[in-house]
Structure 1
């Protein structure tokens, strides 16, 4: 089921921006793009996302930034030692060469790159992680609300398609009833034709074969099952919750009955209705892919 939500938040020196979206998928595929330097954040978000979505490809992007602050200045001892050693070697070589150098001043040394730096020690991220996870509830609520709105729209679309299946099923039942006399007359004519052209043929055996053909052409069971499937689909839609997988399976059953109906039709009008049923059922199948 499709869905989309964005939100911004902040805590202390940190600010962040959420972007959560989902598209159709057979199962649940969570893809998180979050800062890996915040311990426990990804695991916490996965748990929360799994609580609001059970189907679809869900992408959650979180961008975290930190404001610049005036931290304490610190001397990089390692860099200073390397620099002093280099200055000592330079002064010694200069003296050996008879070159006079001006005395070095501390103010000159601290301006050299890497000697004096602003403290930027890594903070404990547990508090930041907790703040972000708490803020996630709001954006996930927006995300779930949009998916619920999408689901409501899909429910109405599916109900309209189910009503069309129901209408076509009623029409198929009427056509199947109307063709009974025609089928019976055709069977009698075929039986008489065979008997007229076959000497010594067992009439009882022939009658049994023709009766078997009549049974195989009967579509009563297919029509009954189509009606039952419509009732089941409506019950699932009314049930709410994640019913996408069940509806997906049910559309396969719908399609199976429609295929059998077409195969048994032996009637132009009934075949037309069967093909119309297949078209509507295919529309249902496409929409069901969007249902969680």
Structure 2
């Protein structure tokens, strides 16, 4: 399966013919249908619809279509239905103007205070008279299905890009973890030598009755305790295990955003522990570099479905 981002965009338009009143002059009465879908990241699936009032009845079908394809994300769907006649207006026929004038005179005889018809009113009424009622739900739903497929393709392409970036970061984290492994034995050896040097100085000053063998045993004991205190083998092992699981999830694809988010928290915990046990500048730098990479992974995982 593919890795899907929650970020995507799709926009489609089409034209459809509209029936007209045969008694009126011929004019362009085609309709432009449009579907636009925007998607960004969200913890859950959050759908919002912007539909003309005459198309509210298709919202349940649109919701069912989207919930069948998407699992997470804040999704906004805009549907437009525009008449091409708006850009190709023709003068109303004399018969229409005569009928509107007669109706206006009749209304004013009963309602003298009624406002007169404006040019915009006349054009709107004449245009509406040309139209015969037609349900465009099926055409729009078909267009919406195509738009959703385009959205899924866009989310898949973005998801593939994110997966490559995450695999690059996990590889860098593995390299950092491997560099930290030989640091601990070196630190232990350095600390043991420091303990021995201190005991030798104390013996040289003659202020101690401690035998050299006892001093060496004490130094080894101190070094052992220090080694236990700074040992990060468990942290490195757990970190490698989490990285393996992240790579496995990215390879399997599907709905994995929440599981990745949990693993990122675990990675951050191990990097923090490694930093708290640090006894050298080099190990501290490794911990800091790890946290930077983990934060980069966290930011991008927020966009994965």
TM-score by length of 1: 0.73
1:234 match? 247
Question: Does structure 1 residue 222 correspond to structure 2 residue 235?
Answer: yes
Higher mean alpha-carbon deviation, 246-255 vs 157-166, is at 246-255
- Name the residue aligned to 2:257: 244
Question: 2:45 corresponds to which residue?
Answer: 28
Could you list the runs of 4 or more consecutive aligned residues of structure 1 that deviate by over 3 angstroms after TM superposition?
66-87, 117-125, 183-194, 207-214
CA contact (8 A) 1:15 1:64 kept: yes
Does residue 51 of the first structure (1) align with residue 54 of the second (2)? no
> Following the alignment from structure 1 to structure 2, what is the Cα–Cα distance between the partners of residues 37 and 180?
77
Q: Secondary structure at the match of 1:64?
A: strand
Cα root mean square deviation, aligned: 4.0
Q: Are the structure 2 counterparts of residues 189 and 263 from structure 1 closer, same or farther at C-alpha, using a change threshold of 3 Å?
A: farther
Mapped partners of 1:43, 1:173: distance in 2: 57
User: Is the partner of 1:25 in helix, strand or coil?
Assistant: coil
**Alpha-carbon offset, residue 263 of structure 1:** 0.4
Q: Give the C-alpha shift of residue 45 in structure 1.
A: 1.4
Give the drift of 1:250: 1.1
CA gap of 1:52–1:191, structure 2 versus 1, over 3 A, is farther
1:1-292 map, 5 Å: 1-13=6-18, 14-66=31-83, 82-83=107-108, 120=129, 127-185=135-193, 214-292=227-305
1:100 maps to which residue?
none
Q: Which runs of 5+ in 1 are unaligned?
A: 88-112, 199-206
Distance change in 2, residues 1:29/1:18 (3 Å): same
Largest Rg, 1 or 2:
1
- Partner Cα separation in structure 1 for residue 265 and residue 207 of structure 2: 45
Alpha-carbon spacing, 1:67–1:170, altered in 2? closer, same or farther (3 Å): same
In structure 1, how many angstroms separate the alpha carbons of the residues matched to 2:189 and 2:151?
Answer: 58
- TM superposition shift of 1:238: 0.5
| Paired position in structure 2 for 1:104 | none
Q: How many residues align?
A: 261
In the alignment, the residues of structure 2 paired with residue 216 and residue 24 of structure 1 have an alpha-carbon distance, to the nearest angstrom, of 42
User: How far apart in 1 are the matches of 2:270 and 2:221?
Assistant: 26
Distance in 2, matches of 1:51 and 1:190, equals 72
Equivalents in 2 of 1:26, 1:190: separation in Å? 58
CA-CA distance at 1:197 after TM superposition? 10
Once residues 131 and 57 of structure 2 are traced to their aligned partners in structure 1, the CA distance between those partners, rounded to angstroms, is 16
- Aligned residue for 1:10, secondary structure, equals strand
Change in Cα spacing, 1:38 to 1:277, as seen in structure 2 (3 Å) is same
CA deviations over 1:64-108 (Å, ceiling 9, x no partner) = 124559999788999776555579xxxxxxxxxxxxxxxxxxxxx
The TM-score normalised by the length of structure 2 is 0.70
- Conservation of the 8 A alpha-carbon contact between 1:39 and 1:129: no
Say if 1:63 and 1:216 are closer, same or farther in 2 by CA, change over 3 A: same
Alignment CA distance shift 1:124-1:47 (3 Å):
farther
